[in-house]
Structure 1
Amino acid sequence: MVPNVSPWTLFGVLALSLLGSAAPSRPPRTPENVMHRGYVWLYENALRDECGYKGVQSYWDWPAYVKDGLEDSTIFDGGPYSLGSNGRGNDLCVYKGPFSNYTATFRYFSNDIIMDNIENNGNGSIPSWSFDYSPNCFQRALDDDSLRLNNNYSDIEQLLSQPTISDFQNILSTPEGDAHYGPHGGGHVAMGGDGADLFTSPTDPVFFLIRIECLLDGAYAGFYANGKALAVAHYTSSALQTYDITDPNGKIKPLQTFTYTMSKEGPAGARQAAPHIHETRTDPLEQYVLAVDLGADKVRIYAIDDDTLLLDERKALNATPGSGPRHGVFTQEPIRFADGKSDYVFYLGAEIAGTITAYRVKYLPNRGGIDFVPLPNGTYSSLEPGVPKPYTTGKGITGELRLSPDGNFLIVSNRRDERFNGTVTQYPPSGKSDSMSTFRIRYDLQGKLDFVQAASAGGYVAQTYDLNTAGDLAAVGVQLGQRISILERDLGSGLFKEQVAYLDLDGEMWGVLWNDKVNN
């Protein structure tokens, strides 16, 4: 008879189901990082929703533990804030600290069963007893040699410098039989015991730390320091990572990782249960990197060291609570204000509130930060004036925010407003289309926005868009419509004319970049 099982055990059941042949949902050769990211996402949400956890999912920085070993580290020393000790004795049971009294519920899977699955791309057979209740002690056998061989700084730098997902995958997990397991296999072997078992490794809590070492959830990336460095916004991982990209051979060198937490969720509830970095960009003078945090209602500001490429945090811009800032953009030129001084204006799009807020930008001396001063009556709906905000159950409204190439217009993609009606063929998937809003920037009125037009985006959930170099065409990524819609645009009036082309895709659209500068 099987007793009531804990949610922790259920995550083990889910992993076994995904990895075994009984799970048709995992097609052959599915990239493991894709499957595991979804798996860790479910786990992190369970921590928050079922256990009341208010932080973010931490990750194990493997190389930091190579020199001094694992057993005496704060992760495995058996202290009250550790994840339990190493195993000991013939049975390798964790004997000290958290999880020392934890009972594992699955049998040990022998190597021939594991090899059968590996050789069959994850679709090998699993025994009929796989899901039987089989209580035993929680095992661990830490292996410093595996960590030194497979998870040192050189290995991680090599992994992060790969140009394609395929190359990344090949470095992440080297072929079976190779003495060098790769960072993925090396992490498992370094755990040992239950953690080294292909099928039941999630029963060791360390599993969830080794699955996000590389923060594979980048939502946006922006160059800084005249293209010498890259700043990546990590939405789910609540982090900002930077990289040196000056190597002439294309090798990417990690620089810094900033990870954020919140003591409680924001006014928007689940949408703001944790910090969510949605965009990175630089200011017009290239002195700062801005990280737009939807979860914390902030724009985090970092001063750039032009020599080292390192970032140093400054005072953040605090947006309206619950607004959920997503993207921002600066005017191309300073604007003259009534006091006779000229400053740039920063427009911040808030996706939850469905608004755009204008700020006067005042630079503090010696790269001491930026003072963002809200303009009087400077908050606008991103929708057409008079159109009520749609009820979206907390999902975003305001999407992409860009300037026209001439700098005279601010163009915003909106989501879920269903402003236009048509056929399913015309506006997939439901026959309704969201809007593209165009505003004229009034350089003569201190950056005021004048609404110009609401045009059809070409389908439902206009997630993102980009303009060609001339600015007379826009490629709109219609997420749920699974289409790229090409809209023609008049340069003088700023008005969109009509859809002139489209491309249907097999899957949802998350990002669009228009590159018309490629030499054939």
Structure 2
Amino acid sequence: MHTLIPLLSLLPLITAQNLYISHYSGYVAKILLSADPTTGNYTLTKGDTLQTCGGSNRLPAWITLDSSSRTIYCTDENWTGNGSITTISAPTDGKLKELATATTPISGVHNALYGKGFLAVAHYSASLITTWKLPLTNGAKALSTYGPYSLSGPHPNANRQDAAHPHGVHVDPTGNFLVSPDLGNDLVHVFAIDATSGVLSPCSSPNIVAGSGPRHATFKKSQTNRTVMYVGSEMGGTVTAFEVKYASESGAGCPSFNFLQGISSYPKNATAPNASKLAEVHTSGEFLYVANRVDKSFNGNDSLATIALDSTGLMTFKQLTNSYGTYPRTFQINKAGDKVAVGDQTTANLAILERDPKTGLLGSLLATLRIGDAGTPENENGLSAVVWDE
């Protein structure tokens, strides 16, 4: 006698992956991306939501997930009074829970983990960088403050470059150095990291083309073992590549940065459209990706650029793709390299794009979800950050 097993029971379970987003309305939320094995269609669903990171009176601007401790670090971009930093527990099978919060200087726009249990925060309007010992406790004080930095002199874009504006904090592949693009000063601050104490020691800063406004950076080791830093400039709509030359294998001393190349984030090295704003740069495999805001390249939607990297780290423009929304402030490529999560700030939607890991090309829209209230152009509202849970 044979027992008949329903066909559906033989099908694989629906595959799913979590993401986390922050919204300028004052909350962090879990998002579920699921795929139906029978149709191959993807769906995004909003899960647990936590009013946090300063709440409704604040502006959650950036989140970093430490997957090993299941902790989210959220910084608040509040422009008046004080800002805040909040740690959030993010269990894989439980609800988001606020763990601790501390007062910071205003306009914490970006953060990054570094060393043996430290967090660095870039404060755009306050013209400084703060560091924090982890785990964060309620009411904690900053470990150190670097700045406020002064404006080095008149810069071409007087309206935006009225002061020093650190816009990001990024750790190099060795873990021994931290860099911070300064939009106001057209340079990148560089620090040597003491991993045990969390102390940052200033090094010489590479300069970027005047008026371009460096905003974001990433690192990549080329096939020829050359370490390259790629800096995305918001106002110039350009990416600048520097070879990183380390003083020693041990990490002692400061690195030097040798200019390699600068290109536009548009086809044929075209000048960025008027009023457009580059947001982020990330690498995956032998490719670099750039988010372009306010270029309206796709019937009102903005764009992502794909740039191929050769064996030495030099760049060649490859593709311009629809961001499937407006003002793509944030995006992240998953570890498998087959999907890109794009946070379109003003339209407040999360878009998942397919990616070919071999060719680097971005493909069709797999899923999209409107999350909370839409924003208004050039204002701190709408979707602010997205990360894959991995």
Alpha-carbon distance, 1:231 to partner:
0.6
How far apart are residue 281 of structure 1 and its match? 0.9
Q: Which residue identity does 1:507 align to in structure 2? A: A
Q: Which residue does the alignment assign to 2:340?
A: 474
Partner of 2:267: 384
The structure with the largest helix share of the pair is 1
In the alignment, is the contact (CA less than 8 A) between 1:314 and 1:369 conserved in 2? yes
1:437 match: 305
Cα distance between partner residues in 1 of 2:138 and 2:58: 23
Describe the shift of the 1:39–1:515 C-alpha distance in structure 2 as closer, same or farther (beyond 3 A). Answer: closer
Match of 1:511 among 377, 384, 390: 384
Q: Over aligned residue pairs, what C-alpha RMSD do you find?
A: 3.2
1:493/1:167 CA distance change after superposition, 3 Å:
closer
- Name the counterpart of 2:277: 397
Kept in 2, the 8 Å contact 1:218–1:235? The answer is yes
How high is the TM-score relative to the length of structure 1? 0.53
Identity value in percent: 31
**1: distance between equivalents of 2:55 and 2:170?**
33
Distance 1:493 1:483, change over 3 A: same
Whole-Å separation in 2 of the counterparts to 1:452 and 1:263: 36
Q: Which amino acid aligns with 1:488?
A: E
Q: Residues 510 and 241 from structure 1, CA distance in 2 versus in 1: closer, same or farther, beyond 3 angstroms?
A: farther
Amino acid at match of 1:359: F
TM-score with structure 2 setting the length:
0.70
1:335-372 alpha-carbon deviations (Å, 9 max, x no partner)? 53xxxxx4311111111111011111111246321211
SS at match of 2:188: strand
Instruction: Specify the structure having the higher radius of gyration (Cα).
Output: 1
* Equivalent position SS for 1:275: coil
Highest relative contact order (Cα 8 Å, sep 6+), 1 or 2?
2
* Shift of residue 502, structure 1, vs aligned partner: 0.7
The equivalent position to 1:218 in structure 2, one of 108, 126, 142, is 108
Aligned residue runs from structure 1 range 195-274, under 5 A: 214-226=104-116, 228-246=117-135, 254-258=142-146, 259-262=148-151, 264-274=153-163
Structure 1: runs of 5+ lacking an equivalent: 1-28, 41-58, 60-158, 173-212, 337-341, 422-431
Q: Number of matched residues?
A: 305
Q: Hey, what does 1:372 align to over in structure 2?
A: 257
Distance 1:486 1:294 in 2: 29
**Contact 1:245–1:252 (CA<8 Å) still a contact in 2?**
no
Counterparts of 1:442 and 1:497, CA distance in 2: 22
Report how far residue 293 of structure 1 moved.
0.8
The match for 2:68 is none
The structural deviation recorded for 1:162 is 6.3
CA distance in 2, matches of 1:506, 1:447: 40
Amino acid at match of 2:230: Y
Deviations 1:382-415 (A, max 9, x none): 11225442111xxx521111011xx211011111
Aligned with 2:385: secondary structure? coil
Using the TM superposition, name which of 446-455 and 295-304 deviates more: 446-455
- Describe how 1:120-519 pairs up with structure 2 within 5 A: 163=88, 214-226=104-116, 228-246=117-135, 254-258=142-146, 259-262=148-151, 264-331=153-220, 333-336=221-224, 342-365=225-248, 367-375=252-260, 378-385=261-268, 387-392=270-275, 397-404=277-284, 407-421=285-299, 432-443=300-311, 446-504=312-370, 505-508=372-375, 509-517=382-390
Contact 2:292 2:303 in 1 (8 A): yes
The superposition leaves residues 418-475 of structure 1 with CA deviations (integer Å, 9 ceiling, x where unpaired) of 1112xxxxxxxxxx111111111101xx211122211111122222211222121111
Matches of 1:408 and 1:468 in 2, distance apart? 15
Comparing both structures, which one devotes a greater share of its residues to strand? 2
- Unmatched tracts of structure 2, length 5 or more: 1-53, 60-75, 90-95, 376-381
